[in-house]
């Protein structure tokens, strides 16, 4: 079944409601959907996507630290300097690994 996209929302045809002359059309035709500004959605191929350097760094960091853990370490940078240093060294290693991939 075809999917359509509009305003970054992806829906199946049977999920789209179109208003024509003040009446809701529950199962609109493809023509009605296109007139409303919807476009046919085609799923991008998963094998062709190559993450950016920043995304690779973040992926590697997430293997050890969640965002909440990172924020906690940043907040406690002055009170727990050894923990921050360990985190900092790890992040630098992640950056090096991401460059080499």
Render pLDDT for 55-85 as a digit per residue (tens, 0 to 9). 999 999 999 999 999 999 999 999 999 999 9
Q: What is the pLDDT of residue 77?
A: 95
Show me where the domains of the chain are located: 3-43, 50-100
Q: % helix / strand / coil in the chain, to the nearest 5? A: 50, 15, 35
Q: Supply angle C-alpha 60, 61, 64, rounded to 5.
A: 105
Cβ–Cβ < 8 Å for 26, 35: no
Q: What is the pLDDT of residue 71?
A: 95
What tens digit of pLDDT does each residue of 14-58 get?
Answer: 889 998 888 988 888 899 999 999 999 988 777 777 788 999 999
Complete edge-to-edge strand list for the sheet that includes strand 9-12: 9-12, 3-6, 39-41
């Amino acid at each position: 079944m075809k999917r359509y996209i509009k305003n970054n929302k992806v829906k199946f045809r049977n999920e789209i409601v179109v208003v024509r002359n003040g009446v809701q059309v529950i199962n609109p035709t493809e023509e009605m959907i296109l007139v409303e500004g919807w476009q046919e959605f085609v799923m991008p191929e998963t094998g062709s996507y190559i993450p950016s350097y920043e995304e690779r760094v973040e992926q590697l960091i997430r293997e050890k630290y969640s965002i909440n853990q990172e924020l906690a370490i940043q907040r406690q940078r002055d009170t727990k300097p050894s923990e921050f240093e360990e985190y900092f060294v790890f992040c630098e290693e992640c950056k090096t690994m991401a460059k080499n991939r």
